[in-house]
Amino acid sequence: MNWDDTTDTSAAERLVGASADREDQAVEAALRPKDLGEFIGQEKVREQLDLVLRAARARGATADHVLLSGAPGLGKTTLSMIIAAEMGAPIRITSGPAIQHAGDLAAILSSLQEGEVLFLDEIHRMSRPAEEMLYMAMEDFRVDVIVGKGPGATAIPLELPPFTLVGATTRAGLLPPPLRDRFGFTAHMEFYEPAELERVVHRSASLLDVEIEPNGAAEIAGRSRGTPRIANRLLRRVRDYAQVKADGLITREIAAAALAVYEVDARGLDRLDRAVLEALLKLFGGGPVGLSTLAVAVGEERETVEEVAEPFLVREGLLARTPRGRVGTPAAWAHLGLTPPRSSANGQQDLFGA
């Protein structure tokens, strides 16, 4: 094979990338808690969900439908797998974007076994016809399959075995009330505290057979943006650094050095976060600036800036969304070690109501 050929090189890069993704997925699967006792954090959700599942087992019934909302990486998929394990039932996993027609959903529902858990990720992105079919399936365990078209179309009722739907969403507000109301239990998952993330890091390090000191775990947890998935990802990258550059033991100094290599700063900001802040402050004097303009300035898609970088920057108090555009806060100037122009500072005081 001629590796100088651009097409071949691109294919090779895709192959390597796909292999790395599969490896990461395998490691993530190995780190997932298997039951509620192993699951760290989300104390209220775990307590409430434990009651729901215990009561269902005591009645010998299928568990109520469950809706989990919250930011990516907080454990919604893991909890769906735990629900299936606690109920001793198989699990079927799909997502809203994959269900674009009512027939897609009917095919999935009609093949479910009694008691099976159907995990529907990004449920808010399901098509409207499929969504309307789901109403009847959740409430009456029945769907009407339409055969034919026009005046001669016939609805054939199809009975379904009792099943448990676990819906996951990052944007619960986009779910229509009729769908939201059909869930017997709804839970909102919160970001993790640093102490909880330290426990996550220690547990994962033990499963990965990695030596880590308490202050090393604290350093990783503090840069993980309140998200277990990110904590586990950073742990794996710090492990790599410790194996290559040190003796394999993760200390605070090793963790800090490793995360500096991967461009994750002490507050958890990564390359994209810093690029957005630097463009906002250095190029546009702290704003206000429109989202599209900001995205062009950092060379990213508008959706990437809005959905990946902005939520964390807003939560950290480094960026504000105002009617006139995005604005860097005084904390953003301080974090980057920059001094705001006087005119910018006065304008921001007006925007923030000071």
Annotated binding-site members: 31-32, 73, 76-78, 139-141, 182, 192, 229, 302, 321, 326
Tokens of 188: 């909102």
Task: Spot the catalytic one: 46, 223, 225, 229.
Answer: 229
Task: Spot the catalytic one: 46, 62, 76, 164.
Answer: 76
76 catalytic? Reply is yes
Binding residues for DNA: 302, 321, 326
Task: Spot the catalytic one: 62, 164, 169, 170.
Answer: 170
Rg value, the chain, Cα: 24
If residue 319 lies in a helix (H) or strand (E), which one and from where to where? strand 319-322
Q: Judge whether 231 and 201 are in contact, CB under 8 Å.
A: yes
Binding residues for Mg(2+): 77
Binding residues for ATP: 31-32, 73, 76-78, 139-141, 182, 192, 229
Spatial neighbors of 210 by CB under 8 A, at least 6 apart, are 235, 239, 242, 248, 250
Whether residue 288 has a cis bond before it, omega within 30° of 0: yes
170 catalytic? Reply is yes
Tokens of 131: 């969504």
229 catalytic? Reply is yes
Q: Judge whether 199 and 40 are in contact, CB under 8 Å.
A: yes
Task: Spot the catalytic one: 121, 227, 251, 329.
Answer: 121
Select from 159, 120, 311, 144 the least CA-distant residue to 227: 311
Tokens of 35: 């039951």
- Could you give the residue numbers annotated as active site? 76-77, 121, 170, 229
